[in-house]
Structure 1
Amino acid sequence: MIAPPIGRLARIFATVLLVSTLFGCGNSDETEIKEWMTEVKVHTHVFIPQLTEPKKFIPFAYAGKTSIDPFNANKLLVALAKMQGNGSGLKPNLERRREALESYPLDTVKMVGTLQKVGLSYALLQIDKTVFPVKVGNYVGQNFGMVTSINETEVNLKEIVQDASGEWVEREAKLALQESTK
C-alpha cells in the first residue's frame, strides 16, 4: 500500500475534528436553562420605589429700577454707609495735611529724649538716624496716632484704627524711652 500524502491526512484530521466539535453542541442543556429562567421569572417580584416629587423652583423677581443692581460696585458703598450710620461716629480726619512722622510705622519710631521749654514739653523721636521733635497734638505712625501726653520716660498716643467689622475704634499706644547703648 502506498502512504497517502501528508496534505490529505491533514484534511481528513481537520474534518474529523470539526465534526466531533459540532456533535458536542447539542441542545440538551438548553431546555434545562429555559425551564430555570421561567421559574425565576414567576417567583421574582419587581419592586420599583415611588419617586419623590421634585422641589418647586421659585425664580427671583428682580425689579430693575427699584432695586440696587447686584453687580454694581455702589452696592458695597451703600452697605458701608449703613454700617457707619449705626456705628459710633468716630473716624479719622482725612482732610487734614499729613505730618512727616505719619509715613513711618510706629514700631520703627524710637523715643530718645525730651526737651522742656517754657510751658511746652517736646519728645525727641528718632527714625533711622534723624531726630524729630514732637509735642502734644502732633501725629505719629500710620494709624492716625495723635500724641496725648509726654513725660520723661514715655510718649502716649491715641490711634484710630478699623476693627474687623470696619468700625473705627480708638486704641492706646506708647513709645518708651530707649536707653543709649554707647
Structure 2
Amino acid sequence: MMTLKKTIVPLLAGLLLAGCSDSNVREVRTWMDQVKQDTKVSIKPLQEPKDFIPFAYGEKDAVDPFSPNKLLAELAREGAANNNPFKPDTERRKELMEGFPLDTMVMVGTIQKDGISYALLQIDRTLYQVKTGQRIGQNFGVVTKVGEQEVAIREVVQDAGGEWVERMSKLELQESKEKGK
C-alpha cells in the first residue's frame, strides 16, 4: 500500500505540472482577440408594442357572462317552458322520507299490515315503514314495489342537458350480522 502511494503521488504531480505549461495558449488567446475585433454585433430594433384598449363592461347589474348562474337560469327557463312528462312537482310539500338520501337507508325487513306490504328501512338508529306509492329519497323518488328482498324505487333526475329523466334504484335486504342470536 505504501509503495503504491509512493509511485502514484509523483506521477500525479508530474501530470499536473505538464498541464501548467504554456502550450499553444498564446495562439488561442490571440485568435480569440482577433475574432472579437472582427465580429460586429447587429441587433434588430424591437417593434413598438400595440396600444392596449381595455374593454369596459358597462352592464354592472347584468349577469356576468362567465357565471354558472347564467347557465342555470337558462336551464330553468327552458325547463319551465318544456312539457316533459317526467318533470317533478317542485311546489308540493315534501314527505318525511324525502329528507334522506337513499345511500343512508338500509332495508332490514318487511311486515304486512291489513294486506299491505311495508318495507322496514333503517336510517341511523331509527326504523321507518314505507309502502308502494310513498315518496322517498332526495331525487323525487317513488316506491314502485315492496318485495321480500328489495324495495324498487323510480327516481326523477336531471341529465347533463337539463332534461328530466327516470332512473330506477333499489334497496336490497341486508342480512343481520347477528345470525346466531
- Determine what percentage of the aligned residue pairs are the same residue: 50
Q: Is the 8 A contact 1:145 1:157 kept in 2?
A: yes
User: C-alpha offsets along residues 143-167 of structure 1, whole Å, 9 cap, x if unaligned?
Assistant: 3322122222211112234556766
1:113 to 107, 110, 114: 110
Is 1:51 paired with 2:46?
yes
User: Which AA in structure 2 matches 1:109?
Assistant: M
Unaligned residue ranges in structure 1 (runs of 5+) = 1-35
Distance 2:63 2:129 in 1: 52
In the alignment, what sits opposite 1:60? 55
Between structure 1 and structure 2, the one with the greater Rg is: 1
1:52 deviation in Å? 3.5
The 1:115/1:55 distance shift into structure 2, 3 A limit, reads farther
Deviations 1:1-57 (A, max 9, x none): xxxxxxxxxxxxxxxxxxxxxxxxxxxxxxxxxxx89x93xx442312132453453
Question: Which stretch of the first structure deviates more once superposed, 79-88 or 132-141?
Answer: 79-88
Distance 1:69 1:85 in 2: 15
Count of residue pairs the alignment pairs up? 139
> AA paired with 1:157?
I
Structure 2: tracts of 5 or more residues without a match: 1-32
Once residues 93 and 131 of structure 1 are traced to their aligned partners in structure 2, the CA distance between those partners, rounded to angstroms, is 27
Q: Which residue of 2 aligns with 1:138?
A: 134
Residue matched to 1:10? none
Rate the CA distance shift 1:162–1:69 in 2: closer, same or farther, 3 A: closer
**Is the contact made by 1:138 and 1:147 (CA closer than 8 Å) also made in structure 2?**
yes
Q: What residue number does 1:81 align with? A: 73
CA contact (8 A) 1:84 1:167 kept: no
Change (3 A) 1:52 1:165: farther
Q: What CA distance in whole angstroms lies between the structure 2 residues aligned with 1:114 and 1:79?
A: 47
Question: Residues 158 and 62 (structure 1 numbering): CA distance in 2 closer, same or farther, change over 3 Å?
Answer: same
Q: Is the 8 A contact 1:114 1:152 kept in 2?
A: no
How large is the RMSD of aligned CA atoms in angstroms?
3.7
